[in-house]
Amino acid sequence: MAQKVDGARRAPLNRDRVLRAAVALADDAAIESVSMRNLAQELGVVPMALYRHVANKEQLLDGMVDVIVGQIDPPAGGADWKAAIRQRILSARRVLLRHPWASSVIESRPRPTLVVLDYLNSVVGMFRAGGFSVDLTHHVMHALGSRVWGFTQELFPGSPLPADPEQAAAAFRELSGRYPHIAEIATGPAHDEGSVVGQGCDDQFEFEFALDLLLDGFERLHQQGWRSANQS
Amino acid sequence: MAQKVDGARRAPLNRDRVLRAAVALADDAAIESVSMRNLAQELGVVPMALYRHVANKEQLLDGMVDVIVGQIDPPAGGADWKAAIRQRILSARRVLLRHPWASSVIESRPRPTLVVLDYLNSVVGMFRAGGFSVDLTHHVMHALGSRVWGFTQELFPGSPLPADPEQAAAAFRELSGRYPHIAEIATGPAHDEGSVVGQGCDDQFEFEFALDLLLDGFERLHQQGWRSANQS
DNA sequence: GATGCAGGTGTACGCCGTACACCTGCATCG
DNA sequence: CGATGCAGGTGTACGGCGTACACCTGCATC
């Protein structure tokens, strides 16, 4: 192999370059194409070379999450807790919308990384700064669940209908007969007329609807001095 | 191979036996051990034999979900919508607690099966029967999200602390310094004293807390005659 | 007895993550 | 200057995965 004819030699790899390449690959292709082999090829390197920079694939995914979470805006000072938290969560949502694969990767991590703990810690801090008791803050964080990341656990990412429009129309008619309530909702005023086929919801509206419902509920509990004893 | 010395010949496979074996395997071992190869071995059969009964692994997983969803109690009649829905969702939760792998499999399905649509359709129907408008029902279903299945999107399935108690104590002290708010919550009154290490939450309480918060919110919107225009 | 077909088999392919031994080129130091 | 060490990239190989495809086998039908 003598002199390694790369033309201009590759710049040496490092953890950061690996992670950023992985994120880029997931963005451009799909998360399933992020295999050690594909990623190595993308970087002009042999698969095993990656293991000098990440311990294994799990840590690669952790690192990718860190890159994403690092893009969330820092807490806004000044505003009241509700506005500040709302704003921050919507910032997280904007980040996740830019990287659609990220929510499922976040879910899949068995343990939080330090960067993730940083984010969660700061959100907890925002509730505390708003005067929430330790206990209420705890419950409230659980109630938020994945919504702190700016995504809802969708019931189903895809619609039950096939992609082909003609087939879809037929399938929809059959579905309407068997599942009238679902059909009713799917064609309700919240969907633009043309988009019955396909998922026609305004996801942003649905997210904010649920987020505000929760935040309002939190506020109500907070104002009435919630204690462990009294449920709501 | 002559006469196939199975002793008493295996009963012939069918889709149902395959699915039930897969569920049992996931229950006894773990969802990761549900590979076509393992499952076949469990059934005393060669891997490719399974493909006579399920089209591929995706459909196997779909079928496993159907088995689980089929165990959820039917809607309780009579009671008001809130009690009935609460009861049904908590029934779903009991089922999922018996099959801890199921929530992640449900999440992973790109399209709902007919059994799943049946369940969702009936939940939608319960809101409609309670007098909810099509539109409000739609938003409310989105707001419930994965909670209709009886599970919350946990931020993290595992704690950030290592399993070994001694290491964990040390790790916790370090964590307390860096992430004071998280530490505070983790040691708050909602956790029993001994369980600071490990995830000491009462998950059932957290689930019901959030569920009731949402249901109360739904009720409030419903009572004040929610229309698309006015947000909360 | 011939025919067909449902159901189980065996082999093989291409993907995956990664263990392990190896090489290569540079910085350091006597 | 040569020797040494080591960080970083390489090559080979293993065991797992899902599954395509050709095959066999035994029973029901006519």
pLDDT digits (tens, 9 = 90+) for A110-169: 999 999 999 999 999 999 999 999 999 999 999 999 999 999 877 766 777 777 777 788
Residue B194 is predicted with a pLDDT of: 47
Q: How far apart are CA B148 and CA B89, in angstroms?
A: 6
CB contact under 8 A, B210 and A175: no
A104 closest CA partner among B160, B93, B110? B110
Q: Within 7 Å: CB of B227 and strand C?
A: no
pLDDT at A220 over 90: yes
Residue nearest to nucleotide C19 (CA to C1'): A48
Cβ contact A189:B134 at 8 Å: yes
For the ranges A4-13, A67-76, A221-230, the lowest mean pLDDT is seen at A4-13
How near does any CA of chain B get to the CA of A232, in Å? 7
| Residues of chain B with C-beta less than 8 angstroms from the C-beta of A213 | 143, 214, 217-218, 221, 232
| Residues of chain A with C-beta less than 8 angstroms from the C-beta of B107 | 107, 153
Q: What's the complex ipTM? A: 0.90
Question: Three-class SS of residue B111?
Answer: coil
Residue A189 is predicted with a pLDDT of: 66
**Which is more confidently placed, B18 or A229?**
B18
Residue B232 is predicted with a pLDDT of: 47
Q: How far apart are CA A85 and CA A87, in angstroms?
A: 5
| Residue where the block lists tokens 């590759």 | A10
Q: How far apart are CA A14 and CA A10, in angstroms?
A: 12
| A188 pLDDT tier (thresholds 50, 70, 90) | confident
A11, amino acid identity:
A
- Distances A59 to A54, A117, B96, B162, B185 between C-alpha atoms, Å: 6, 16, 29, 16, 27
Residue B201 is predicted with a pLDDT of: 81
Cβ contact B111:A156 at 8 Å: yes
For the ranges A1-10, A87-96, A165-174, B16-25, the lowest mean pLDDT is seen at A1-10
The number of C-alpha atoms within 13 Å of A126 and in the hemisphere containing its C-beta is 25
Residue A5 is predicted with a pLDDT of: 41
Q: Within 7 Å: CB of A222 and strand D?
A: no
Residue B7 is predicted with a pLDDT of: 44
pLDDT at A79 over 70: yes
pLDDT at A194 over 80: no
Interface membership of A122 toward B (CB under 8 Å): yes
Q: How far apart are CA A215 and CA B82, in angstroms?
A: 21
Contacts of A69-74 with CB under 8 Å at 24 or more apart are A69/A95, A69/A115, A69/A116, A69/A118, A69/A119, A70/A115, A71/A95, A72/A119, A74/A122
Mutate to test the interface with B, among A118, A124, A132 (most CBs of B within 10 A): A124
Cβ contact B156:A110 at 8 Å: yes
Mean pLDDT across A163-186: 88
Residue B12 is predicted with a pLDDT of: 83
Which domains, and CATH codes, for chain A?
A: 15-54 (1.10.10.60), 69-154+202-223 (1.10.357.10), 165-196 (no CATH)
Interface membership of A219 toward B (CB under 8 Å): no
Query: CA at B42, C1' at D23: how many angstroms apart?
Result: 24
A138, A188, A201: residue with CB nearest B134: A188
Residue A64 is predicted with a pLDDT of: 98
pLDDT digits (tens, 9 = 90+) for A17-76: 999 999 999 999 999 999 999 999 999 999 999 999 999 999 999 999 999 999 999 999
Each of the 232 residues of chain B gets a pLDDT tens digit; together they read 333 444 455 778 999 999 999 999 999 999 999 999 999 999 999 999 999 999 999 999 999 999 999 999 999 987 799 999 999 999 999 999 999 999 999 999 999 999 999 999 999 999 999 999 999 999 999 999 999 999 987 777 677 777 777 888 888 888 899 999 999 998 876 555 444 444 568 899 999 999 999 999 999 999 998 886 555 4
B111, B121, B228: residue with CB nearest A182: B121
pLDDT at A208 over 50: yes
